[in-house]
């Protein structure tokens, strides 16, 4: 069965880019434009991995991460940030991976493969 | 008697007039010198003012005698020293056939028969002396001597006022300069905020652009002429992305977490990252550590970025091979790392600018590497210095050694890097 990834980002252009690129890799992709929307989607659909932007208006990524990990302990979450090299907030320790946003998605795809591979 | 009194007042009034006049201290002293020589019937009057180290420098002289010979008396030299020692008037007559006056030699008295020296000021602190010389033997009556004292006191007050005024002016100018600097640092802060917001706002659309360009490139058939354009677009987008990352890093002042760490480990980890590049470029790495451990308070991730940037520059300067030497040691209160390469060094014309944001001599450089390194290091209360040495450049990074004393964990605002 195809793995399902939920992409959470407030930037429409990036959401579409992620969707196309990740679908090319053979994954199914769900999109959410805000932290609130992502939690709704998680309640309804079965998701295998969450790709989460930290900086969002409204509920930010760190808050979403906290709620996700409370409810779905084993669901892997990859945090995306604008800060290269930094752990932006101590709330981010709970994430499974930490990725610096870049137009080159190679590292991201590699990380997703590793995490989904481990879970099988 | 009446006449004498009015004459006294005459001189005092004239000196007062000079003191109250505008113009530089030198101008006014020169007028006072002329007045003194005239009023006391001497051929020449000179004012010497105390400078650094107790030396007396000629500040003003009336014409009349040749002043060459003595422009400056060292501490303890000549008649002025005798007068200041005594704290009062020295009146000396030349003894025929002798080179000494009052027991001291004074080369300023060539061709002179009578000299009067009076210290300026009082209470043991003198700002200089007034010096009267006459070719012929002459002497002052006790009343005239008293008058000289009063006039000299006036001159001393004039000098003191001028010095105070000068101090006041300097302090005022410093204050203004400081105020200006403060205002500009506030401007810089506001600018920094703006730049941070801009960098974030530009970044996301830029990532989309870059991502779609890459997709487009993959979808174009090979050999399509559009490929070249897309390739170019991707490159340029990559460049802006790199600059944006640099700016965001540069502006991120508050992300440091200071922990007790070992500078040796930080440096070793930074070197590890480049292992492949060292061998790819034929660079021999010499790593020496004098003291271990080198305890410092550091945000390891940030400090590694600082060293990454310095090492990356060294590698870029030795793309066709060379030697990199990295020495860590302790020097007093500092843990020190020295990174030296054999890449030809930095053009002396450029060396003053390499810590400025966006200064680069590289085709694809952002010019943010060293400013970032510098801001990280200064926020750790350390410093970075650069010099050309041997066959290349040498960067010295100093961080407060925290093995013994505890160091405040507050971070400092960034300062400019130094060139030595
Ligand atoms: N080890 C070195 N040897 C010779 N020149 C150096 C060295 N390090 C720095 N420079 C000079 O200082 C300039 C500024 O360096 P900096 O790291 O700030 O930016 P850059 O290296 O040009 O760009 P980037 O770091 O983005 O690649 C360089 O362009 C180079 O001229
Ligand atoms: Mg550089």
CA distance linking residue B319 with residue B332, whole number of Å: 36
Residue B211 has its nearest CB partner, among A21, A83, A86, at A21
Structure confidence at residue B356 (pLDDT): 82
The mean pLDDT of B105-124, rounded to a whole number, is 84
Contact A88 B209 (CB under 8 A): no
Sheet bearing B90-93, strands edge to edge? B72-73, B56-61, B44-50, B125-134, B114-122, B90-93
| Structural domains of chain B ordered from first start | 2-169 (3.30.450.40), 174-251 (1.10.287), 259-419 (3.30.565.10)
Q: Under an 8 A CB cutoff, do A11 and B305 touch?
A: no
- Whether B48 and B80 have beta carbons less than 8 Å apart is answered as yes
Residue carrying structure tokens 């000179």: B46
Percent of chain B surpassing pLDDT 70: 86
pLDDT at B405 over 50: no
Residue A91 is predicted with a pLDDT of: 52
Residue A101: pLDDT band (50, 70, 90) is confident
Fold classification of A4-119 (topology level):
Rossmann fold (3.40.50)
Angstrom distance (rounded) from CA A34 to CA A52: 10
| B283 close to B312: Cβ distance less than 8 angstroms | no
Residues 6 or more apart in contact with residue A110 via CB below 8 angstroms: none
Bridge partners, B392 (sequence order): B389
Tokens 């502006």, residue located: B251
Judged on CB neighbours under 10 Å (0-12, 13-18, 19+), A76 is: buried
State mean pLDDT over B121-125: 75
Task: Find the CB nearest A103 among B241, B252, B305.
Answer: B241
CA atoms within 13 A on the CB side of B14: 19
Query: In angstroms, how far apart are the furthest CA atoms of chain B?
Result: 120
Alpha-carbon distance A9 to nearest alpha carbon in chain B (angstroms): 10
Mean pLDDT highest for which of A9-13, A29-33, B105-109, B232-236?
A: A29-33
Round to whole Å and give the CA distance between A78 and A92: 10
A14 reaches B (C-beta below 8 A): yes
Round to the nearest angstrom and report the end-to-end CA distance of chain A.
12
Evaluate if residue B166 carries a pLDDT over 60: yes
Best residue of A81, A85, A87, A99 to probe chain B, by most B CBs closer than 10 Å: A85
Is B40 in contact with B144 (CB distance < 8 Å)?
Answer: yes
Please give the Cα distance from B420 to B354 (Å, whole number).
Answer: 13
Could you give the C-alpha distances from B290 to B15, B20, B264, B326, B327, in angstroms and in order?
Answer: 70, 67, 10, 11, 8
ipTM over 0.90: no
Mutation for testing the A interface, residue in B211, B218, B230, B303 having most A CBs under 10 Å = B211
Q: What SS3 state is found at B66?
A: coil
Q: Which residues pair with B297 in a beta bridge?
A: B260
Q: Distance from A102 to chain B by nearest Cα, in Å?
A: 6
Task: Tell me the two tokens of residue B406.
Answer: 């505890």
**The most confident of B4-8, B159-163, B254-258, B304-308, by mean pLDDT:** B304-308
Give me the residue from A13, A83, A103 closest to B248, CB to CB.
Answer: A83
pLDDT in tens, B251-300: 665 555 788 999 999 999 999 989 999 999 999 999 999 767 899 999 88
Given a cut of 90, whether residue B25 has pLDDT beyond it is: no
Asked whether residue A118 carries a pLDDT value surpassing 70, the answer given is yes
Write out pLDDT tens, residues B35-49. 999 989 999 999 999
Convert B283-300 to b/e letters by CB count within 10 Å (16 or more is b). Answer: beeeeebebebbbbbbbb
Whether residue B95 is predicted with pLDDT greater than 90 in this model: the reply is no
* Structure token pair of residue B108: 């300023």
CB atoms within 10 A of CB B345: 19
Judged by CB atoms closer than 8 Å, whether chains meet at A84 and B248 is answered as yes
**Model confidence at B69: pLDDT above 60:** no
Residue B17's pLDDT is what?
86
Residues 6+ apart with CB under 8 A from A65: A52, A77, A79, A91, A92, A94, A95
Could you tell me the residue ranges of all domains in chain A? 4-119
CB distance A103–B214 less than 8 Å? yes
At B66 the pLDDT is 66
Q: From CA B249, how far away is CA B254, in angstroms rounded?
A: 10
Tens-place pLDDT, residues A41-54:
999 999 999 999 98
Cα Rg of chain A (Å, integer)? 13
Judge if the beta carbon of residue B114 lies within 6 A of ligand 1.
no
């Amino acid at each position: 069965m195809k793995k399902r990834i939920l992409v959470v980002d407030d930037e429409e252009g990036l959401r579409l880019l992620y969707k196309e690129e990740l679908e090319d890799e053979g994954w199914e992709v769900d999109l959410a434009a805000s932290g609130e929307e992502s939690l709704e989607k998680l309640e309804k659909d079965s998701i295998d991995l969450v790709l989460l932007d930290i900086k969002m208006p409204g509920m930010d990524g760190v808050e979403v991460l906290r709620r996700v990990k409370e409810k779905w302990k084993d669901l892997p979450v990859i945090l995306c940030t604008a800060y290269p090299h930094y752990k932006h907030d101590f709330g981010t320790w709970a994430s499974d991976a930490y990725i610096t946003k870049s137009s080159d998605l190679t590292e991201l795809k590699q990380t997703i493969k590793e995490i989904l591979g481990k879970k099988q | 008697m009446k006449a004498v009194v009015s004459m006294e007042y005459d001189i005092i009034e004239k000196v007062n007039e000079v003191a109250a006049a505008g113009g530089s201290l030198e101008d006014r002293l020169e007028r006072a010198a002329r007045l003194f020589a005239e009023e006391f019937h001497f051929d020449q009057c000179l004012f010497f003012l105390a400078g650094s180290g107790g030396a007396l420098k000629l500040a003003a002289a009336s014409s009349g005698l040749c002043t060459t010979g003595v422009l400056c008396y060292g501490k303890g030299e000549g008649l002025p020293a005798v007068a200041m020692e005594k704290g009062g008037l020295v009146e000396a007559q030349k003894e025929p056939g002798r080179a000494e006056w009052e027991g001291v030699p004074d080369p300023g008295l060539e061709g002179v028969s009578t000299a009067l020296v009076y210290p300026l000021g009082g209470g043991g602190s003198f700002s200089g002396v007034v010096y009267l010389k006459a070719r012929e033997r002459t002497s002052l009556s006790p009343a005239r001597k008293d008058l000289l004292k009063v006039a000299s006191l006036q001159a001393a007050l004039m000098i003191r006022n001028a010095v105070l005024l000068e101090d006041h002016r300097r302090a005022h100018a410093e204050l203004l300069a400081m105020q200006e600097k403060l205002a500009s640092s506030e401007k810089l802060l506001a600018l920094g905020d703006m730049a941070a917001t801009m960098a974030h706002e530009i970044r996301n659309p830029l990532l989309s652009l870059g991502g779609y360009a890459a997709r487009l490139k993959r979808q174009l058939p090979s050999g399509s002429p559009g490929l070249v354009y897309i390739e170019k677009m991707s490159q340029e987008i990559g460049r802006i992305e790199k600059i944006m990352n640099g700016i965001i890093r540069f502006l991120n002042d508050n992300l440091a977490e200071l922990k007790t760490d070992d500078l040796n480990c930080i440096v070793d980890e930074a070197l590890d990252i480049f292992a492949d590049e060292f061998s790819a470029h034929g660079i021999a790495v010499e790593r020496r550590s004098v003291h271990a451990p080198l305890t410092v308070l550091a945000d390891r991730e940030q400090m590694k970025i600082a060293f990454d940037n310095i090492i990356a520059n060294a590698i870029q300067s030795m793309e066709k091979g060379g030697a990199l030497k990295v020495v860590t040691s302790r020097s007093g209160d500092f843990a020190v790392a020295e990174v030296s390469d054999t890449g030809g060094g930095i053009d002396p014309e450029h060396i003053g600018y390499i810590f400025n944001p966006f200064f680069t001599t590289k085709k694809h450089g952002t010019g943010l590497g060293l400013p970032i390194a510098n801001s990280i290091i200064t926020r750790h209360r350390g410093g970075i210095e650069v010099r050309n040495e041997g066959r290349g450049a040498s960067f010295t990074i100093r961080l407060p050694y925290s093995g013994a004393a505890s160091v405040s964990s507050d971070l400092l605002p960034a300062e400019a890097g130094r060139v030595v």
